């Protein structure tokens, strides 16, 4: 596009549509834009290069060279760490602010830390689980985030912390251990996220990627503290997803595009998914008998804590925005908590109420999409209705004719709504 425009500039000047000064300003604008984009590419390739070299060293040393003595192996394993540290020192003492260098060296140093611990473990045949290994690696890497201000290291540490929590809580032999250090690691990363992105409102690619990792990581790891609370823990998840929706709608986390707003996307999908799961009568009939005492207390405290936080944030957002400015999904956790206590007594009534909630949210989403003239949001609302009908498809108490008719109605709805909106857009333009 820019090349076409630049080529057309002399013609536009000759025709008297723009003057020489404007033509020069357009040329300069595109030159600067090209510069920024090539710098971005340089950062991406710097990170990729450093990660590939670092992981390559990890794999080469994982071969466990028998011919090398123990001390030789250890010394070789520590060399990448020293190289990474010297490069980091050079970057901060010089100081060099170039992003590509800082991100590349950060990624390399991260890998080098893993190499150094791995080689010592190999050389001395140390046991220890993969979770311990990942924890040590991530803990030693967190300072790089603050020293170099490296976005890629934030992502790698988030990945490491998540993997550690999964190893300990989901993948281990018994799979019942909580991962308290996950929350400590998260607490050490969040201040950087706040200071580097939220406070200056810097919504760059790193912000988007880190935010996505952050919400996915929380979605995976919240259940690590759920032990023995059973179905009740769904309240914690529902409250967390409602919080995500509220965060996604706030100025602090808002981004220009829907897909880059991970809080809103994951929050909204999370709310709908839980409601769809809870729309089955079986979900409420399933006998969830929590047992254990001490560990259950932690789970209960988490449920109460997250729900309370959601109430506080909801109240504050409601005060500043009022009914009109609120996303209905932000209230979902309140409805869910209320329905929960009805449903555990009378599962059928609870399931019906949840179905009604999903339908209401779908209609609200369709209305919101139509008002904003946003085809994506409109179709999302229609998809929610479709998902609800598919779920009901598995329930045997509805007749085949009725289910068939529902599908036809929604299919026509899809076509009609999209047709109507596109037609309106054309009429406006």
Partner 1 sequence: MRGLIVGLFIVMCIAQLAVPGKMIWDRENIVSSGTPYKFRTQPIDPSDPFRGKYITLNFLADYGYDTGEWSSGESVNVVFETDSAGYAKVNRLTRDEPDGPYLRTTIYYIDSDSIVHFTIPFDRFYMEESKALPAEQYYNQSTRDSASVCYGLVRIGRGQAVITDVFINERSIVDLVRGANDGN
Cβ closer to partner 1: 85 or 418?
A: 85
**183: number of Cβ within 10 Å:** 15
Distance CA 372, CA 20 (A): 40
Site for partner 1 contains 172 (CB under 8 A): no
Closer CB to partner 1, 3 or 63, in the complex = 63
Counts for the chain of helices (H) and strands (E), in that order: 16, 0
Considering the complex, state which of residue 44 and residue 78 has its C-beta at the smaller distance from partner 1. Answer: 78
Q: Is 359 in the site for partner 1 (CB under 8 A)?
A: no
If you search the block for the tokens 């520590």, which residue do you land on? 78
* Angle, helix 20-62 to helix 70-93, in steps of 10 degrees: 160
- Chain residues 27-46 in contact with partner 1, contact rule CB under 8 A: none
- The stretch among 114-122, 186-194, 282-290, 309-317 that binds partner 1 (CB under 8 A) is 114-122
CA distance 227 to 176: 7
Helices 130-148 and 70-93 meet at what angle, rounded to 10?
20
Does position 178 interact with partner 1 (CB under 8 A)? The reply is: no
Nearer to partner 1, 92 or 208 (CB): 92
Q: Of 132-140, 255-263, 282-290, 344-352, which part binds partner 1 (CB under 8 A)?
A: 132-140
Among 102, 122, 169, 212, binds partner 1 (CB under 8 A): 122
394 binds partner 1 per the rule CB under 8 A: no
Distance CA 246, CA 251 (A): 10
The one among 42, 83, 136, 295 contacting partner 1 by CB under 8 A: 136
Q: Pick the closer one to partner 1 by CB: 13 or 68.
A: 68
Contact in structure between 167 and 224 (CB atoms under 8 Å): no
Which residue among 78, 198, 220, 383 contacts partner 1 (CB under 8 A)? 78
Applying CB under 8 A, which of residues 10, 35, 89, 305 lies at the interface with partner 1? 89
CB closer to partner 1 out of 196 and 240: 196
Q: Is 90 in the site for partner 1 (CB under 8 A)?
A: no
Tokens 């018994």 sit at which residue? 174
Residues 6+ apart with CB under 8 A from 226: 233, 236, 299, 302
Cβ proximity to partner 1: between 38 and 125 the closer is 125
| For partner 1, the closer CB: 137 or 280 | 137
Per-residue binding letters, 234-253, with partner 1 (x by CB under 8 A) = --------------------
Least distance (Å) between residue 86 CB and partner 1: 9
Q: Does 143 bind partner 1 (CB under 8 A)?
A: yes
Does 208 bind partner 1 (CB under 8 A)? Our answer is no
Q: Which residue's CB is nearer to partner 1, number 145 or number 343?
A: 145
- Is 381:407 a contact under the CB 8 Å cutoff? no
Total of residues contacting partner 1 (CB under 8 A)? 40
> Whole-angstrom Cα distance, residue 359 to residue 386?
10
Cβ atoms within 10 Å of 266's Cβ, excluding its own: 22
Q: Can you spell out the DSSP letters for 371-417? A: HHT-HHHHHHHHHHHHHHHHHHHT-TTS-HHHHHHHHHHHHHHHHHH
**Shortest distance in whole angstroms from residue 52 CB to partner 1:** 16
Q: Does 61 bind partner 1 (CB under 8 A)?
A: yes
Based on the shown chain and the rule CB under 8 A, indicate whether residue 66 belongs to the binding site for partner 1. yes
SS3 content of the chain, % helix, strand, coil (to 5): 80, 0, 20
Closest by CA position to 336, among listed 318, 321, 315, 351 = 351
What distance in Å separates the CA atoms of residue 307 and residue 229, rounded to the nearest whole number? 15
In angstroms, what is the minimal distance from the CB of 64 to partner 1?
5
**Enclosing H/E stretch for 46:** helix 20-62
CB of 297 to partner 1, least distance (A): 18
Q: How many whole angstroms from its chain centre is CA 227?
A: 23
| Interaction site with partner 1 (CB under 8 A) | 58, 61-66, 74, 77-78, 81, 85, 88-89, 92-93, 95, 113-114, 116-128, 130, 133, 136, 140, 143-144, 146-147
């Amino acid at each position: 596009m820019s090349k076409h425009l630049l080529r057309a500039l002399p013609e536009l000047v000759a025709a008297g549509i723009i003057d020489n000064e404007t033509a020069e300003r357009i040329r300069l604008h595109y030159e600067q834009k090209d510069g920024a984009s090539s710098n971005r590419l340089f950062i991406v390739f710097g990170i990729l290069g450093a990660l590939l070299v670092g992981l390559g060293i990890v794999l080469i040393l994982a071969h466990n060279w028998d011919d090398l003595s123990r001390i030789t192996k250890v010394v070789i394993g520590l060399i990448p760490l020293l190289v990474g540290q010297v490069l980091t020192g050079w970057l901060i003492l010089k100081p060099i602010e170039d992003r590509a260098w800082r991100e590349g060296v950060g990624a390399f140093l991260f890998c080098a830390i893993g190499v150094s611990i791995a080689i010592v473990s190999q050389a001395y045949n140390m046991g220890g689980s993969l979770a311990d290994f990942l924890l040590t690696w991530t803990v030693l890497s967190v300072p790089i985030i603050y020293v170099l201000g490296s976005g890629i290291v934030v992502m790698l540490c988030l990945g490491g912390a998540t993997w550690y929590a999964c190893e300990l809580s989901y993948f281990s032999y018994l799979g019942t251990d909580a991962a308290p250090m996950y929350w400590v690691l998260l607490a050490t990363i969040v201040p950087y996220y706040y200071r580097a992105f939220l406070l200056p409102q810097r919504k760059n690619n790193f912000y988007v990627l880190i935010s996505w990792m952050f919400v996915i990581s929380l979605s995976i790891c919240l259940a690590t503290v759920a032990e023995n609370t059973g179905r009740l823990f769904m309240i914690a998840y529902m409250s967390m997803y409602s919080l995500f929706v509220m965060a996604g709608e706030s100025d602090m986390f808002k981004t220009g595009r829907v897909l880059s707003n991970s809080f809103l996307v994951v929050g909204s999908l999370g709310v709908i998914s839980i409601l769809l799961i809870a729309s089955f009568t079986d979900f409420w009939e399933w006998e969830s008998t929590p047992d254990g005492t001490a560990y259950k207390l932690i789970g209960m405290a988490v449920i109460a804590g997250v729900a309370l936080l959601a109430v506080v944030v909801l109240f504050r957002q409601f005060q500043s925005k009022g009914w009109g400015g609120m996303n209905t999904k932000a209230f979902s956790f309140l409805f869910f908590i209320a329905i929960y206590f009805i449903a555990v007594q009378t599962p059928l009534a609870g399931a019906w109420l949840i179905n009604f909630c999903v339908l209401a949210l779908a209609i609200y989403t369709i209305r919101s999409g139509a008002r904003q003239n946003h085809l994506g949001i409109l179709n999302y609302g229609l998809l929610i209705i479709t998902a609800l009908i598919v779920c009901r498809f598995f329930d045997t108490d509805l007749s085949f004719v009725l289910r068939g008719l529902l599908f036809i109605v929604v299919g026509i709805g899809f076509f009609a709504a999209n047709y109507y909106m596109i037609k309106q857009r054309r009429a406006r333009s």
